[in-house]
Amino acid sequence: MFNVKKETKKLLILFIFNEIKSFKDVFLTKINSYDTIYIVAFCVILSMIYKKIIERNTNMDKEEVITKICDSGVVAVVRAENAEQAIKIAEACIEGGVPAIELTFTVPGAHHVIEELAKRYTSEQIILGAGTVMDSETARISILSGAQYVVSPYFNLDMVKLCNRYRVACMPGAMTINEVVEAMEAGADVVKLFPGETSGPKMIKAIKGPIPYAKVMPTGGVDVDNVAEWICAGAVAVGAGSALTAGAQTGDYAAITVMGREFIKRIREARGL
């Protein structure tokens, strides 16, 4: 006698492991007219769930991640007092046209926030990264939580190696040309110029003089009034923190959305778009 529970479990296992031929064999030879409706309904629901899981967890190639960040031109550096505030900031940024979110590990339970954002948004809606990553262990945690790129305030060789091992985009920090070259030689996809306010846009010009192919993203000291100067100096994108997200301090998340749109507008203007 056909055991519905037993056979549906078998179908589930075959489906998960993509054993399509076996799936068809089981379906066509073992079910009878009384069980057909149950099995078909189950498989339809299962396929819908499976499709959603795939959509949510499909990671872009790191080259595509970097391209999207550069096209956007701005990464929202999210610092918050708690997870709820961090998520609200991220949502406000996305609504303002800033999909690149760098969720920093100064946020309590940061990896859980990354997991939550990865569940709420598809890779078409968000470019989700982890920031203030100080070591390879934290980098791995962030990647497993759903981070598509990893940002650090300094150059850590082990962290860069780990990101390259798993083909996840990596942006270590640097302040000097020597550090920039070391990061590039190690395999950094983009070098984060940090803190940007100590050198200004002229540092980007100084770097790109002898190293025109360097991809540099300044963070710190970037705001809507000088973002065009950074872009014109050669920055592939900018990291914007409090200049973008200050509204969160007073609960004015709408102000973040407005500021995000202004950042995007000025970056496009600077690029002649």
- For the segment 154-189, what is each residue's pLDDT rounded down to a tens digit? 999 999 999 999 999 999 999 999 999 999 999 999
Calpha distance 254→266 (Å, rounded): 19
In this prediction, residues 251-266 reach a mean pLDDT of: 98
List CB contacts of 114: < 8 A, sequence separation 6 or more. Answer: 103, 128, 130, 142, 145, 146, 147
Assign 38 a pLDDT band (cuts: 50, 70, 90): low
Which amino acid is present at 96?
Answer: G
Query: From the candidates 62, 68, 192, 215, which is the catalytic residue?
Result: 192
In this prediction, residues 213-221 reach a mean pLDDT of: 97
Average pLDDT, the chain: 87
- The listed range with the strongest mean pLDDT (10-14, 57-61, 269-273) is 269-273
Q: Is 192 known to be catalytic?
A: yes
Distances (CA, A) of 58 to 8, 54, 146: 27, 6, 10
Residue 109 pLDDT more than 60?
Answer: yes
pLDDT given for residue 32 in this prediction: 52
Q: How many residues does the chain have?
A: 273
pLDDT given for residue 41 in this prediction: 55
pLDDT given for residue 37 in this prediction: 54
pLDDT given for residue 170 in this prediction: 98
pTM summary value:
0.79
By the 10 Å C-beta count (0-12 exposed, 13-18 middle, 19+ buried), 5 is classed as exposed
In this prediction, residues 58-66 reach a mean pLDDT of: 85
pLDDT given for residue 273 in this prediction: 87
pLDDT given for residue 53 in this prediction: 42
The tokens 């780990």 sit on which residue?
Answer: 162
Which of 28-42, 138-152, 161-175, 221-235 is predicted with the least confidence, judged by mean pLDDT?
28-42
- Percent of the residues in the chain that have a pLDDT greater than 70, as a whole number: 78
Q: Is 119 known to be catalytic?
A: no
Residue 129 pLDDT more than 70?
Answer: yes
In this prediction, residues 62-75 reach a mean pLDDT of: 97
Query: From the candidates 68, 91, 102, 116, which is the catalytic residue?
Result: 102
In this prediction, residues 22-51 reach a mean pLDDT of: 50
pLDDT given for residue 23 in this prediction: 44
User: CA triplet 198, 200, 202: central angle to 5 degrees?
Assistant: 130
In this prediction, residues 195-211 reach a mean pLDDT of: 95
pLDDT given for residue 60 in this prediction: 84
pLDDT given for residue 50 in this prediction: 41
In this prediction, residues 79-90 reach a mean pLDDT of: 98
